[in-house]
Structure 1
Amino acid sequence: MAIKITEECINCGACEPECPNNAIYEGGVEWALADGTTVSGSFTLLDGSSMDANQKNEPLSTDTYYIVPNKCTECQGFHEEPQCAAVCPVDCCVPDEAYVEAVDELMAKKNVCTAKPVAKII
């Protein structure tokens, strides 16, 4: 299942840079599936609907950081545990029961949403 950030979030921002899928956004910031990923064109969402990957969407939270479930893979294929939860000082990154996915589904999502490689500065 995807991870969610609860109301206990203190807005420290520790989770955002740890997300390999760029699925975490600061409260009030619009999101897009293409943000920081290789996703382009039409993308099928968890609910079966589709949207353009570059479409900007309303923030899922205006007050605290939030995780876009359609981008979250629980760090499957990247790390042994969700990194947002590992670094959260108040333990507010928890499983989101509304988005239950099997490991193979998370891995398939990871393969589609792999983050863009970061350029090395020499």
Structure 2
Amino acid sequence: MALLITDDCINCDVCEPECPNEAIYMGPEIYEIDPNKCTECVGHYDVPQCQQVCPVSCIPFNPAWRESKEQLMAKYEALQAAAKKN
């Protein structure tokens, strides 16, 4: 499953640069996570880096976007392949 940023976000700017897939971006009011790019850091790290650095713990797993570790790894591989083409 992808992660999401809740309304508790304080826009501290620490999560965005930590995302290896560039899935985090500034939305209209708070940071948001593109679930099509979020792999929960699978392929990069053992744990989601945005969750590790968030000072207010406002980045839970998104229950509406469930994915297995295998699906997350496949997404990671697809993102890596697309990045090499560009």
Structure with the larger strand share: 1
Selected match of 1:88 from 17, 40, 54: 54
Partner residue, 1:7:
7
Q: Which residues of structure 1 form unaligned runs of 5+?
A: 28-61, 118-122
One-letter amino acid of the counterpart of residue 5, structure 2: I
| Displaced runs of 4 or more, over 4 A | none
Distance (whole Å) between structure 2 residues aligned to residue 116 and residue 88 of structure 1 = 27
Q: Which residues of structure 2 form unaligned runs of 5+?
A: none
One-letter amino acid of the counterpart of residue 101, structure 1: E
**Residue-by-residue CA offset, 1:28-63 (whole Å, 9 max, x unaligned):** xxxxxxxxxxxxxxxxxxxxxxxxxxxxxxxxxx10
The percent identity for this pair of structures is 53
Distance (whole Å) between structure 2 residues aligned to residue 83 and residue 13 of structure 1 = 13
Matches within 5 A, 1:39-118: 62-114=28-80, 116=83
Give the number of aligned pairs: 83
One-letter amino acid of the counterpart of residue 74, structure 2: A
Q: Indicate the SS of the match to 1:72.
A: coil
TM-score scaled by length of structure 1: 0.65
Structure with the larger helix share: 2
Shift of 1:116: 4.7
Partner residue, 2:18:
18
Shift of 1:101: 0.2
Shift of 1:77: 1.2
Give the RMSD, CA atoms, in angstroms.
1.4
Distance (whole Å) between structure 1 residues aligned to residue 48 and residue 60 of structure 2 = 9
Is contact 1:13-1:26 (8 Å) kept?
Answer: no
